Amino acid sequence: MNNKNYPVSERRLPAEWEHHDCVMLAWPHELTDWCYMLKEARDCFARIIHAIAQEECVLLVGPAGLCLPSVREYAFPADRVKFIDIPTNDTWARDFGGITVESNGSLSILDFKFNGWGLKFASNHDNRINRAVANLSGTDKVFEAPLENRLNFVLEGGSIESDGCGTLLTTSECLMSPNRNGEFDREQLTSYLSEAFGVNRVLWLDHGALSGDDTDSHIDTLARLAPHDTILYVGAGDDDDPNTPSLLRMREQLSSLRTESGLPYNLVELPSPDPIYDEDGMQLPATYANFLITPNRILLPVYAQSQKDFLAEQILKIAFPDHEVVPVDCRALIQQHGSLHCVTMQFPVGAIAGIKDGKWVENTTL
């Protein structure tokens, strides 16, 4: 549903397809939930990092003693990949990473509270990562933009989508979760988001859920904003798929949303992957909506389902005609109930120190 318009702020939350300085990831190690399948997880992360590093920088975080030996085995280019020694609980950088906003030509990195998706998982280290990076100085300095304390509000990056022009797309299931900001009603949440991100419209989806999703329906698993008033969304699967009823209701609600000029959005349906199950028979939240947009490429998660993987790739080529679509096998990531977008967080140009002409100026870690 559309809420009332709020005054336009000087702030702006850039769209993901705008130019970046770098993308942050956290490396899997023995103390993360990847411990039982560490090699498969690291291979998947390496594929993602190599794909990003072909066109822009990567900031990789993790405890050095547990991570650096294995990181070096993958021969990442030192001028594109920089490692920072920081304790981590897990690897979902989209949700604990800082969110960058622009204001009158200056950037700020917002540091929200991360509480493990509504107190489901440990987050004591991950909730401190942005401050740890911000405290680096001298030749180790990484954040060029100042860090803005927003720790009185729980927010994960995967729960919001921006078109860069004042519209935010989110889900009520996640943001209204009682274990996040339960004291806020929808109107108060809308007002807060408007102030924090400078948006003048918040579009709320009340439907849409994937079996096995720990995030309470993050928007980046369901529907993604794209240029030219386009929304790509996950279509319903077979009638016997438990996700189908909710996804059908989501599609109906998406068709009722309007752009700022009052027109319907261009809705583009992505296929729903065939169900994937874990070893206990639980359905996992596989989705093609969890792609990463870089300045010239789309990194698309795929799941060894040749027909549907190909269809998703072709649809993204139509939605992003100026981008190369790069499929990345993410069957390992889905085993921990996330995918490609979930493990990445982009920082716009000007947010990061030590980068020149798309490369790290000084890097002695790799």
Prediction pTM value: 0.96
Instruction: Tell me the C-alpha distance between 245 and 265, whole Å.
Output: 22
Mean pLDDT for the chain? 95
Do residues 153 and 113 make contact, with C-beta atoms less than 8 angstroms apart? yes
The answer to whether 24 touches 97, Cβ cutoff 8 Å, is: yes
CA–CA gap between residue 160 and residue 62 (Å, rounded) = 25
Per residue in 107-149, pLDDT (tens digit) is 999 999 999 999 999 999 999 999 999 999 988 999 999 999 9
pLDDT in tens, 145-204: 999 999 999 999 999 999 999 999 999 999 999 999 999 999 999 999 999 999 999 999
Identify which of 172, 177, 66 has the alpha carbon closest to the alpha carbon of residue 116. 177
**pLDDT means over runs of 10, the chain (366 residues):** 47 95 97 97 98 97 97 97 97 98 95 96 97 94 97 98 97 96 96 96 97 96 97 92 95 97 98 95 97 96 98 97 97 97 98 95 86
E-assigned strand segments in 123-257 = 147-154, 160-162, 167-171, 201-205, 223-226, 230-234
